Structure 1
Amino acid sequence: MGILYILAAITFIILFFINVGWLTSNLYLTIIGEIESFVKGTNPIENIYYSSYLKWILLIDVLWLLTALFFMIQRKNYKTDARLHYLNHKPILNPKICVVLPAYNEAEAIAEVVRNFQKNKFVKYVIVIDNHSSDGTADIAEKCGSRVIRNDKNMGFGYSYALGLKESLKTDANIIVTAEADNSFNSYDIPKMLPYLDNCDMAVGTRQNQVLTEKGNQNSLLHVWGNFFLAKLIQIKYFSLLHTGVVNLTDVGCNFRLFRTEALKKIVNELTYPSTDKVKAGIGVAIHLTMIGIQKDLRIIELPVTFNKRAGKSKIGSNRRIRAIKIGLIFLWLILKT
């Protein structure tokens, strides 16, 4: 399935550009030809109609669409087990939450973020994974009453994220929450997401609703549409003809998530290579987590969350266009190969 999906995605992209290129060039030639036709008495539309390139392009397009249709029919019964993929009600009667916050040089925001989550009546633990900050982030977080795990060196976001999840499972919390340490998210979104865990294993946030975002936030035009495109690629990868997908996604880059503890235990070790702490997906750890969850038959729901302007500057440089494109390509390859 992985190889077929990669081939399908690559051929779709190639065909898309071939079709757009052909249409653009012929539109230009048609406009020029209309001018020449007045002089020479020729018909530029006939040249397009009899073009051998057009016939080959249409033939390849039809073959690709027939292949896609065959794939869709084959997926009619994909992940349709009533016990695993449909409605299930397992209420969490006494929510106890552990919040995981990977952090790197977030001294400007970490105190407010920790206190923000501590105010939530269901939050029992806040764990900050300090990625060898040089600005006192770890000390500030400790003074605020959170548990702090200090990395001896900068191990990257993915490592800190995975480590935080594993450490959270050592507590008696029955719900694990992950968020950002830059004040992008709000703890008051937790109560509206909690009820969905009575039916699901993972609740993932989406920042794609304009009315729930603060103007000037770090999600630029490139981020918004890039996240949406990649989200739909995941949805297509796990396509189900009956419901258009096992999960409906619009935002792959949101790290505000809620997990049932027993569900997280099923997938957390898949984030790292066996007998090592090396993370398989690096900066794409959250996307990887979503895809592993789908493969392991976890019930996943995406929900709109509020999104603030971050405090300080992005530490991974995603606000820079070239860097954002590189991250997007990393995410794309991760989706194709997983």
Structure 2
Amino acid sequence: MKISVILPAKNEAEGLARTLPRLVALMPEAEIIVVDDGSTDETAEVSRLHGATVLSAPYSMGNGAAIKRGARAASGEVIVFMDADGQHDPALIHGLLSKLNEGFDMVVGARNASGQANVGRGVANAFYNRLASWMTGMRVADLTSGFRAVRAERFREFLYLLPNGFSYPTTSTMAFFRSAYPVAYVPIQVARRVGTASHIRPIKDGVRFMLIIFKIATLYSPVKLFAPISLVFFLAGLGHYAWTFITSGRFTNMSVLLFSASVIIFLIGLISEQITSLLYRRDGL
């Protein structure tokens, strides 16, 4: 099978200078595509120097946009996505491909705790993994890893779902699970990134955290998120009604509000479930 390796890059000249020579030496027959996401350093020049095909954007459109541009341009039957910052060892690609040949449609390099950028990011990713495992009923070892091998035909089915910004790994993984395309995980070690270190920004990353949680739920099965919330409101209304009935013999407006909220949230979940089902419907099915 022809292999295409895609590296989204923004100001990653230093990391590419280390990664590309090893990648070319280990996979001389592979198509290597560097998607330059509006870099202001020598990312494009370094990539061309090492024989990579460069897709340059005039301005930054986000990691997800770079992934989509690369996937559309790739000619390989299998696409390998990896970071350009030196964290992913090209020698590990063969392990992903070997697992893919066992009949899987996506194989993800799963990091251990030492492979997380920092403690906060590690805690968030552990939560994502548990939530996704609960939603899918399958063990999700690393929901946010950007090091993965996929069958190109399968991956392109979901390009319209991928965001231009963050969380393309989350979206693609949940889409594969939802569509019953088998996904496997291979343990990997990652190195420290080359260049500027990643920093946690409490407000911005907190918002991202919440958005990813809702994205996980709405991409797979919204009812699994909305039904428990609806139940909480229903039980709160029941408890409030019992308390007011015992203390004052009344059925209060607050109880009505809580019961109504419970019904509305549940109905929103049902509607969301139907919309989600339409997202994965293909012609002829």
Q: TM-score when scaled to structure 1?
A: 0.60
* Counterpart secondary structure, 2:217: helix
- Separation (CA, whole Å) in 2 of partners of 1:209 and 1:136: 32
Q: For 1:172-251, what aligned pairs fall within 5 Å after superposition?
A: 173-198=76-101, 199-208=103-112, 210=114, 213=115, 219-239=117-137, 245=138, 248-251=139-142
Please tell me whether residue 255 in structure 1 is matched to residue 150 in structure 2.
no
SS at match of 2:156: helix
Mapped partners of 2:177, 2:29: distance in 1: 27
The Cα shift of 1:102 comes to: 0.5
Does structure 1 retain, via aligned residues, the 8 Å contact 2:36–2:56? yes
C-alpha deviation, 1:323, in angstroms: 4.3
- Compute the displacement of 1:110 (Å): 1.2
Which residue identity is paired with 1:206? A
Q: Which amino acid aligns with 2:218?
A: K
**In 2, Cα distance between equivalents of 1:297 and 1:182:** 32
What amino acid sits opposite 1:260 in the alignment?
A: R
Q: Aligned match of 1:328 in 194, 199, 209?
A: 209
Q: Secondary structure at the match of 2:108?
A: strand
Q: What letter matches 1:225 in structure 2?
A: V
Deviation at 1:257, TM superposition (A): 0.3
**Is 1:296 matched with 2:202?**
no
Determine the structure 1 residue equivalent to 2:71: 165
Q: Which has the larger radius of gyration?
A: 1
Residue number among 56, 61, 68 corresponding to 1:155 in the alignment: 61
Structure 2 residue aligned with 1:20: none
Mapped to 2, the partners of 1:285 and 1:141 lie a distance apart of 23
User: Number of residue pairs matched?
Assistant: 218
1: distance between equivalents of 2:130 and 2:180? 19
Provide closer, same or farther for how the CA distance between residues 123 and 301 of structure 1 changes in structure 2, counting only shifts above 3 A: farther
User: Is structure 2 residue 159 aligned with structure 1 residue 268?
Assistant: yes
What one-letter code is carried by the residue in structure 1 that aligns with 2:111? R
Alignment of 1:63-82 (within 5 A): none
- Contact 1:318/1:327 (CA < 8 Å) preserved in 2? no
Partner of residue 337 from structure 1, selected from 218, 236, 247: 218
Check the 8 A contact 1:129/1:160 in 2, yes or no: yes
| Distance in 2, Cα, partners of 1:187 & 1:250 | 21
Deviation at residue 126 of structure 1 after TM alignment: 0.7
Q: Could you tell me the percent identity over the aligned residues? A: 25
- Relative to structure 1, is the Cα distance of residues 185 and 98 closer, same or farther in structure 2, using a 3 angstrom cutoff? same
Residue 142 of structure 1 corresponds to 48
> Residue 185 of structure 1 contacts residue 307 of structure 1 at CA under 8 Å; is this kept in 2?
yes
1:156-200 CA distances to partner (integer Å, 9 max, x unpaired)? 1111112111211xx1x2211001010010011111222211220
What is the root-mean-square deviation of aligned Cα atoms in Å? 1.9
In 2, the alpha carbon distance for the partners of 1:297 and 1:254 equals 20
Q: Distance in 1 between matches of 2:173 and 2:29?
A: 23
Contact 1:227 1:250 in 2 (8 A): no
Q: Secondary structure at the match of 1:283?
A: coil
Paired with 1:123 and 1:190, the residues of 2 have a C-alpha distance of 13
Structure 1 gaps of 5+ residues are 1-94, 240-244, 272-278
Q: What is the distance in 1 between the residues matched to 2:161 and 2:15?
A: 31
Q: What is the deviation of 1:329?
A: 2.4
TM-score by length of 2: 0.71
C-alpha contact (below 8 Å) 1:99/1:123 kept by paired residues: no
Structure 2 distance, partners of 1:269, 1:122, is 31
